[in-house]
Amino acid sequence: MNPKPSHWPPHLQYIQTSLYHSSVSIDTQLQIQGPENPSFFSRRYNINRRVVIRPISSPSHPACGQYGLFAVKKIPPKTHIIDYIGEIHCDDRPDSDYDLSLYRSQDGLHVGIDSSTMGNEARFINDYRGVKPKPNAVFSDIRADSGAMRMSIWSSGGEIKKGEEILVSYGKAWWHARNNLQ
């Protein structure tokens, strides 16, 4: 069995590559993989040595009692930290707090990456609101050199210090949707 990152919760599946849900057609899979990469599944990620999952116990942290992702060592500005992987799907996941949009086609097809039940360390990245004045990392949806679509997380313009929590902005729309569900 593959080793899991420390503090990985036992009820979640730790995966090293994104998996396709049955709602993703073969045509869409090819669009996501890119024309020259028939082996999307072969891109495997090892445990990420730049970051560590830690339980959050500070009562002033809005995600106290949950987990967060922290830098193990200094991360320079504008540096790739980790790719966000999970279940790639085309069905609606309105109740998932772990669902990112990967791709939207002109004819309305929506492809997401959901890590609510399976994923890697990136699923533990919290939003900066209530923690720090601004995020120190950003999401970036790019096509890798292989042609495959990826959702990556990069450090922003400043260095992330050893021990600092990695924090992104989920965006106003994410918080708006979540607050409207409550």
Ligand X SMILES: C[S@@+](CC[C@H](N)C(=O)[O-])C[C@H]1O[C@@H](n2cnc3c(N)ncnc32)[C@H](O)[C@@H]1O
Contacting positions for ligand X (CB under 6 A): 62-63, 66-68, 97-98, 123-124, 126-127, 129-131
Spell out the residues 6+ positions from residue 175 whose beta carbon is closer than 8 angstroms to its own.
Answer: 127, 129
Nearer to ligand X, 29 or 169 (CB): 169
Nearer to ligand X, 86 or 150 (CB): 86
Sign of CA dihedral 131, 134, 136, 138: positive
CB of 59 to ligand X, least distance (A): 13
Nearer to ligand X, 20 or 124 (CB): 124
DSSP 69: E
Question: What element of type H or E holds 149?
Answer: strand 149-155
CB of 6 to ligand X, least distance (A): 14
Start-to-end C-alpha separation, the chain: 39
Of 43, 39, 18, which is closest to residue 30 (Cα–Cα)? 39
Nearer to ligand X, 20 or 67 (CB): 67
CB of 102 to ligand X, least distance (A): 15
